[in-house]
Amino acid sequence: RWNRTMGMNRILAGAVFALSLLGAPAMAVEEPAFETSLTDGSFEIRDYPALVVAEVTVPGGQKEAANAGFRLLADYIFGGNSGKASIAMTAPVEQKPAGEKIAMTAPVTQTESAGAWVVRFTMPSAYTLDTLPAPNDPKVRLRETPPARFAVVRFSGVAQPGLVAEKTA
């Protein structure tokens, strides 16, 4: 059933997602802390601490999986949780092939593989696994990622498969 609140939430989620794909700042959003080990133009090597994330695994192509995963996670942060709490949007939104480790880029990492994707939102730093409300949807998993080093390439434009493959290469 459609209501005004759901409509505004979907519009906001769509706008944030679209702007994140375009590489433009939609609003002041928290990004995880990191240390930069190397910078060369748009390329960086970054060291990230352990992060608390909400993630889903969804089947389909890159675009379909990104949309489906984003909707599931947006529902969680817009109140689809045990506390009906609204959780702030953060950057980056991460998408990667299921079962395969790839580098994270901001705002979205996307590469085609085997038809299943993990879409991940990093939770605001004020939360721990113990303080986050439980998701209402069992597809949404909360977990902590281990500290990690990532190669990052910043670019603007819509994260279409061809552009992502070019930047990954």
pLDDT of 168 reads: 81
> In the structure encoding, which two tokens stand for residue 77, read together?
């942060």
Give 125 or 8, the one with higher predicted confidence. Answer: 125
Residue among 116, 145, 103 nearest 56 (CA): 116
> In the structure encoding, which two tokens stand for residue 55, read together?
């993630």
Q: Rounded to an integer, what distance in angstroms lies between the CA atom of residue 139 and that of residue 48?
A: 26
Task: Give the helix ranges, DSSP H, for the chain.
Answer: 4-22, 62-77, 161-168
Contacts of residue 24, defined as CB under 8 A and 6 or more positions apart, other chains included, come to: 156
The whole-chain average pLDDT of the chain stands at 78
Q: What is the pLDDT of residues 21-77, one digit of tens each?
A: 434 444 578 999 999 999 999 899 999 999 999 999 999 887 888 899 999 999 999
Q: Rounded to an integer, what distance in angstroms lies between the CA atom of residue 1 and that of residue 11?
A: 16
Looking up tokens 């519009």, which residue turns up? 11
pLDDT of 114 reads: 63
The DSSP call for residue 30 is: B
pLDDT of 110 reads: 40
pTM for the whole thing?
A: 0.70
Q: What is the pLDDT of residues 112-162, one digit of tens each?
A: 346 788 999 999 999 999 999 999 999 999 999 999 999 988 887 777 778
- Asked if 165 and 102 touch (Cβ cutoff 8 Å), the reply is no
pLDDT of 107 reads: 40
pLDDT of 99 reads: 63
